[in-house]
Amino acid sequence: MKNVILFLVAIVYSLSINATDKTQPIHIEVTGKGNPILFIPGFTVPGDVWSPLVKELEKNYECHVVTLAGFGGKEPIAFPWLPKINQSLRDYIKNNNLQNTTIVGHSLGGTIATWLATQEDLKLSEIIVIDALPAAGALMIPNFNPENLAYESPYNNQQLAMDDVAFEQTAKAMSKGMSLQESAQEKIKNWILESDRKTYVYGYTDYLKLDLRKDLEKIVIPVTIIATTEPYGKDMVTQTYKSQYENLKGYNLILAEDSAHFIMLDKPQWFTKQIRMILSSKE
């Protein structure tokens, strides 16, 4: 009898844990009807960054808008963060039987879209990559070696130890390089400040460790890349993308002139028009 009681207590405890555990790698809102589009935002950015575009597209498409754990007010998850994000998105596409899906990804979201396109068993239609690289770490770190990147590092420890004032100053400085619009810079700064600090620090390490350059050979679906010319200029940007995507069989590169990293905030009308044109060209 005692064993039975203990067993029942264990079941109730397990159920209560599952019922209250709200931590999951991805959070997705679905609107509209039609062929599916999966929207993946960038690092620290909530899914509602896509709202103006989704309002236009949901009339003709089923829009699946992602917010990643630790960002946009969502609960953080255990680390490693990015591998769980990737696997959860892969499972979401398969479990929901999303056929002929288009993936639109910005920054980190574009890198994730590229990873999903290398998964040969996913029936994707195309990916639209917005100002994203397959190996951001290789561009930023001299003598890049993913194995040398670890959570426990002097830089990461410094980021974690920052007080709120210092961290806000850092976020403000970073946001100024990501948009040409002051109002957009304020949004970007607040997204950084609202993010879970450990996810911000360790998640970025996950991001820098990811190197998809060799895996680009596996991609057989259409790829469109929209890249910004600011602040580095057209020639440097073109050369960077040519080098990073060297192993991709073919892609269409569109340059967003007079725009920084957040094209959807700097040039919203132009951006929506480009996305519509890309989508319509595949129909």
What CATH code is carried by the domain that includes residue 191?
3.40.50.1820
Of residues 21 and 5, the one with the higher pLDDT is 21
Length of the chain: 283
Number of structural domains, the chain? 1
The total of other beta-carbon atoms located within 10 Å of residue 254's CB is 14
Mean pLDDT for the chain overall: 92
157, two tokens: 């420890």
Q: Is residue 8 part of a domain?
A: no
DSSP code of 252? Answer: E
Domain that holds residue 72: 25-281
CA dist 190 and 203 (Å) reads 18
Q: Is residue 164 part of a domain?
A: yes
CA dist 62 and 123 (Å) reads 16
The percent of residues in the chain predicted with pLDDT above 90, rounded, is 89
> Band of the pLDDT at 23, cuts 50, 70, 90?
confident
> Band of the pLDDT at 281, cuts 50, 70, 90?
confident
216-273 residue pLDDT tens:
999 999 999 999 999 889 999 999 999 999 999 999 999 999 999 999 999 999 999 9
CA dist 63 and 123 (Å) reads 17
Q: Is residue 178 part of a domain?
A: yes
DSSP-derived 3-state class of residue 87 = helix
Q: Is residue 122 part of a domain?
A: yes
49-62 residue pLDDT tens:
999 999 999 999 99
> Band of the pLDDT at 123, cuts 50, 70, 90?
confident
Q: Is residue 2 part of a domain?
A: no
